[in-house]
Amino acid sequence: MSHLLLPVLPLRDVCLFPEASLTVAITRPAVVRALELSRRCGNRLVAVAQKDPLNQNPSAVGLHGFGTIAEVVSHEVQSDIDRKIELDGHRRARIHDMLGLDVLVAEVEEVEEGDPGDEWGSAVEALARYMHAHADLRQFLDAQRRSKEPMAWVNLACQHLPITATARQKLLESDAAERCQKISRGLDALLKKEREG
């Protein structure tokens, strides 16, 4: 796989998954500069979750080693330091090195999703059961879906379901088949817990 140099967008309490979209409010000056730098990279950057969401200026050690290469598809300037952007996730990325003190730039390697095989079927079925109990979630995911591929449903579930940021990061680091297995078990356990509670 190829290596790229891309500006880093630190994310608090959320992960961006391939084939999913995410709207982010930008208020930190360093992140605004990273966003401006992304224009020189074809509106691409690497979205990486912070280990501590309260850290205002995370360094390389404060970010996870896996993220998602994303395209900035919408950029709304609200003031000198306030921006609202919409990202489309493209591919998972392993971070090899990060440079910079204020604005971070990462050397990233694109990571293959792998073949979900038959695992996506049980994950999509579990998601359908969960959405049947949460009609508002289905409408939201339909609006967020960028691809007709079944894995897009799985990735959206990973990104938007009520699970911890740590659990999301572990899902992002898993290949497609493993992610399907985890989300299938997790959704059924979550639905069971909600019904019992």
CA distance 37 to 72: 11
- Predicted pLDDT at 101: 80
- Predicted pLDDT at 78: 85
Low-confidence ranges of the chain (pLDDT < 70): 1
66/156 same-domain check:
no
125/59 same-domain check:
no
pLDDT digits (tens, 9 = 90+) for 13-68: 899 999 888 899 988 888 888 999 999 889 999 999 999 988 888 888 999 999 99
What is the domain range of residue 123? 119-196
From 60, 78, 111, give the residue that closes a domain: 111
From 83, 111, 139, give the residue that closes a domain: 111
CATH of the domain at 88: 2.30.130.40
- Predicted pLDDT at 1: 61
- Predicted pLDDT at 178: 92
Number of domains in the chain: 2
- Predicted pLDDT at 172: 95
Contact 9, 48 (CB under 8 A): yes
Report pTM. 0.88
